[in-house]
Structure 1
Amino acid sequence: MFTDKAMTQRERFINTMEYKAVDRIPNYEVGVWGQTIDRWEKEGLNIYDLHWDWFTGEEFFDMDAREFINLNYGMIPPFEAEIIEKTDRYEIIRHENGVVTKALIEGTAHGTRASMDQYLKFPVENIDDFRELKKRYVANMRRRYPPQWEKIMLPRWKSRDHVLVLGRNCSTLGFYWRAREWMGTENLCYAWYDQPELMHEMMEFIADFTIEVSRPILEKTDVDYVFINEDMAMKSGPLLSPKTYKEFIYPHMRRLVDYFKSHGVRYVGVDTDGNCEALIPLLMDAGVDFIWPMERAADMDPIKLRKKFGRSLRLWGGIDKRILAKTKADIEEHLMSLLPLIEEGGFIPTVDHLVPPDVPLENFMYYMKRKIDLLSGRF
C-alpha cells in the first residue's frame, strides 16, 4: 500500500482512489465552527496564522492542496438581501436565495450561528413560482466564471501537480439540495406526491443548468473530481424513499454523471449528511464513485459500508467528531479501527463535519499528529 517514492499531490490522490501504492494518503479536512476558533484562541492558538479555508488546504496542519474552480451555479441576479425585523435576540432576514429565516443573534461567532435558523418562507410554492425563479438561472453568463480564467488559470490547470475540483464546496448543488432550498424540507416532502409535474420539471432543469454552466470549463480542461452536494438524509435514513429518488432524480443524476465523465471529470462524489445507505445502490448505478462525509452519529460506518458495497464505492470522511472531544486514548482507538481501510485504499479519512467547539485544541492537535501517522503508514 505504501511506497517510498515521493509523489505529487495529484498522484497521491489518484493512486488512493485507484487502490494503488502511495507515499501517504491525502490529508483533507472540512473546517471548524466559528465558536471553535474562539475557543482555540483562548487555548493559545494564534488564529491569524491560519487561513481557515481547509478545503483549499491549511498549511498549519500540513493538509494537501486542492484548487476549486470558482463557478457560480447560483442565482444571477440574487434576491436583494434585507433584514425584515431585528431585536436584541433575533433577526428575520430575507437571504439572497429568497429564503426568509429567523436567526438567533446570541452566540454568533465568525459568521457561525450557535443554532440553526428557523425557516419561515421559501421562494417556490408552485410551478408558476418555479418558472419565474428560473429567470435567475440563465447559464450562459460570463459572471459565472472566474475573470480571465482562460488566460490566467487554464495554463496552470493543464500542467498541474495538484488536485483540481469543479466548483467550490456547496456550489455544485444537487437535485435534492436545490429543491429543498427553493421549497423547504416539509414542502418538498409533500411536493413529490402533490405536485409531480413541478418536481419532474425541476429535476430536469437542475441537470440541464448544471451541465450548461459546467460546459465552457470542461471543453477546455479535465478536472479530478466534482462534488454533487445533496444533504438528502437524516439520522435514521434518507429524506426521500429509493422509489421516489428513482422516479424523479435518478434519470437526471445519471445523465449529469454521464456528462461529467464523458467531459474529463475523473471522479464524481456525492456529499450528504445523515444516513444515505438506502440510496447508495442508486447512486452507484448512476456512476457515483464516492460518498462523503459518512456521518457517524447517523450510523454511517465506513468499515461496514466497504463490506457491503465493495471497492467500487470509495469512501471519504468517517472520523467521528464526537470522539475528538473525549480522551487521547479514545482518539487513538478510533483511528486504529480504520487501519483495514487505510491498508486497502479507496478511503480518505476526514472529520465527518465541521469540528465543534467542545473539542479542545490539544485534542485536535493530537488527532492531526496521529492522523498523519495513519495516512503515512506509521500508525
Structure 2
Amino acid sequence: MEYAMSLEMGLSLLRGQRRHGRLPVMEHLSGISCEVITHLTQINPVMERHRVNEAFGRLAEIFDVDLLWGGGLPDCTREIYDWSDGQTVKKNARGEDVVQWGIFGAAHQEDGRHFTHVPKPDSIEAALAFDPSVYFPKTVEQYREQFTADYQRMRQNCGKTCLPIPHHYTTAFHWPLANFGFELLCEAGMEEDRFDQLMERFVEISTRITTAWSQVPDVAGFILHDDLAMTGGPIFAPDWYRQHIFKHYPRIFEPLKQAGIPIIFTSDGNINAFVDDIFAAGADGLNFEYMVDLSYLVENYPEKILIGNMNSHIIAAGPLDRITDEVNRCLSIGAQSPHFVVNIGGQITHDIPIDHLEHYLKVRKQLSEQLTSQTSHTT
C-alpha cells in the first residue's frame, strides 16, 4: 500500500527510524468537547453531523497527529449526543446508559465492567467457572474477516491525515475486570489455582484475536491494552501478576511478532513495577501515564517506542504557566529518546478548556521543533 507523505512520520517511527523536523504525536481526539471542536475547526459536529469526519480530520491536522490510538477518525455512523443540556447520563439507541465522552457516549461502567452486555456472575464460584467463549465465540477466520473490514474503514476515515493503530482492549488482566468488575475480580484472583484455569480461557480468545489481526493486510502497528494498575500502583502484589498475567503475554504477542507488526502496550496507572516485565514479554513500545518514570524508560529502553507521560489533569486544571512547565518537563526528558512520541495520557477530555488546549498546542509545537533540532545535532 502506498502512503501519502503526511503519514510518513508515523510509519517511520513504527519502522524504527529516527524523527525529522518535530517530535511524533499520538493523541486521542474523540473525547474533545463540542465547544472546542467548533472553535478550532469552525464545524459544529452536533449541528452538522454529516461533517463529523471532516471536523476530526481538521483536528488531527491541528494537533499534528501522526498515529491515532485504537481506530479511525470518527464519522457520522457513530451515535452523537448533545450534552449542552447538562445531563451526565443519556440512553443510547439500544436503551443502555452512556456517560459523556466528548460529543459521544461511553458505556456507563459498573465497578469497572466494560462488557455490560455479558451477565455478571453472581458469586466467586460462578466467576471462576465462567466460560467466555459463550459470549466471544468467533473463530480466527471470522475475526480476520471482521478486522479486515474494520481496518479498511479506519484507513478510509483517516484518509491522508494520520495512521490509525488498531487495538485489542482486553489483553489478559482486563478480561476478568471487564466482565466481573473490580470487586469480584479481586475475590476471584485470590483463588489462585482456579483463577489460572479461568485465565487460560480468556487468553485463548486473545490469541485468536491477535492471530486474526496478524493476518490483516497492511497493518503497520498494533496496540495491546491492559489496565494493570491504579494511580497508586498495582491492584495485586507484583508477583501475582507475574504468576497469573505476564506469563501469558508472549503467547498473545507471538502472532503479531511473527508477522513483524510492532506491538505498543498500553496501560493506565502507575506501572513502574511492570515496565521491565512488559518489554521482556516482547512489547516494542509503551503508552503510559504521568505516574510512570519517563527518565527510567529513556535511559533503559532507548530502542523502544515511548508514548505519553503528559499529565492530562494539569492540561485541564491549569493555570497556563503550569501547563508550560508540564510540557517542558515531559518533552525535555522524552526527546532524549530517539523514539519518543508526544501524547496526553488519559486522553484529551471534554473538560479541558479551549484556552488551555490552545496554550498546550503552542508550547508543544514550539518546544517539539526546538528539541528535535537540538537532538539532531547531537546524534
1:64 to 54, 63, 66: 66
Q: Displacement of 1:115 after TM fit?
A: 9.1
Amino acid at match of 1:336: N
Counterparts of 1:151 and 1:108, CA distance in 2: 23
Q: Deviations over 1:162-184 (max 9, x none)?
A: 645343xxx44211111111221
Counterparts of 2:151 and 2:252, CA distance in 1: 28
Alignment of 1:169-208 (within 5 A): 171-194=168-191, 196-197=193-194, 199-208=195-204
Number of positions where the alignment pairs a residue of Structure 1 with one of Structure 2 = 337
State the partner residue of 1:23.
Answer: 21
State the partner residue of 2:230.
Answer: 234
Amino acid at match of 2:355: E
Counterparts of 1:147 and 1:280, CA distance in 2: 29
Alignment of 1:1-379 (within 5 A): 9-15=7-13, 18=16, 20-31=18-29, 33=31, 36-38=33-35, 46-48=43-45, 51=53, 58-64=60-66, 66=68, 110-112=103-105, 123-124=120-121, 125-126=123-124, 130-140=129-139, 142=142, 145-146=145-146, 149=149, 163=163, 165-167=165-167, 171-194=168-191, 196-197=193-194, 199-219=195-215, 221=217, 223-265=219-261, 267-294=262-289, 296=290, 299-307=291-299, 309-324=300-315, 325-337=317-329, 338-377=331-370
Distance 1:231 1:109, change over 3 A: same
Amino acid at match of 2:320: K
- What is the aligned-residue identity percentage? 16
Counterparts of 2:217 and 2:70, CA distance in 1: 13
Distance 1:193 1:110, change over 3 A: same
8 Å contact from structure 1 (residues 40, 360) kept in 2: no
Q: Displacement of 1:361 after TM fit?
A: 0.4
8 Å contact from structure 1 (residues 293, 317) kept in 2: yes
Distance 1:280 1:17, change over 3 A: farther
- Is there any run of 5+ residues in structure 2 with no aligned partner, and where? 46-50, 73-86, 373-379
- Is there any run of 5+ residues in structure 1 with no aligned partner, and where? 1-5, 71-88
8 Å contact from structure 2 (residues 41, 59) kept in 1: no
8 Å contact from structure 1 (residues 139, 213) kept in 2: no
Q: Deviations over 1:87-110 (max 9, x none)?
A: xx99899x99xxxx9x798x8974
Distance 1:251 1:358, change over 3 A: closer
SS of the aligned residue for 1:376 comes to helix
Distance 1:270 1:69, change over 3 A: same
Q: Displacement of 1:55 after TM fit?
A: 10
SS of the aligned residue for 1:291 comes to strand
SS of the aligned residue for 2:222 comes to strand
Amino acid at match of 1:185: F
Instruction: Name whichever of 223-232 and 57-66 sits farther off.
Output: 57-66
Counterparts of 1:340 and 1:163, CA distance in 2: 25
8 Å contact from structure 2 (residues 294, 333) kept in 1: no
Q: Deviations over 1:241-260 (max 9, x none)?
A: 22111111122112112232
Give TM-score, length-normalised by structure 2: 0.71
Distance 1:127 1:288, change over 3 A: farther
Distance 1:57 1:44, change over 3 A: closer
Amino acid at match of 1:242: P
Give TM-score, length-normalised by structure 1: 0.71
Q: Displacement of 1:39 after TM fit?
A: 6.9
Structure with bigger helix share is 2
Counterparts of 1:65 and 1:153, CA distance in 2: 16
Distance 1:258 1:57, change over 3 A: farther
Counterparts of 1:282 and 1:151, CA distance in 2: 29
8 Å contact from structure 1 (residues 318, 350) kept in 2: yes
Q: Displacement of 1:356 after TM fit?
A: 3.9
Amino acid at match of 1:365: E
8 Å contact from structure 1 (residues 30, 54) kept in 2: no
Q: CA RMSD in A?
A: 4.5
State the partner residue of 2:77.
Answer: none
8 Å contact from structure 1 (residues 318, 352) kept in 2: yes
Counterparts of 1:148 and 1:312, CA distance in 2: 30
Distance 1:256 1:54, change over 3 A: farther
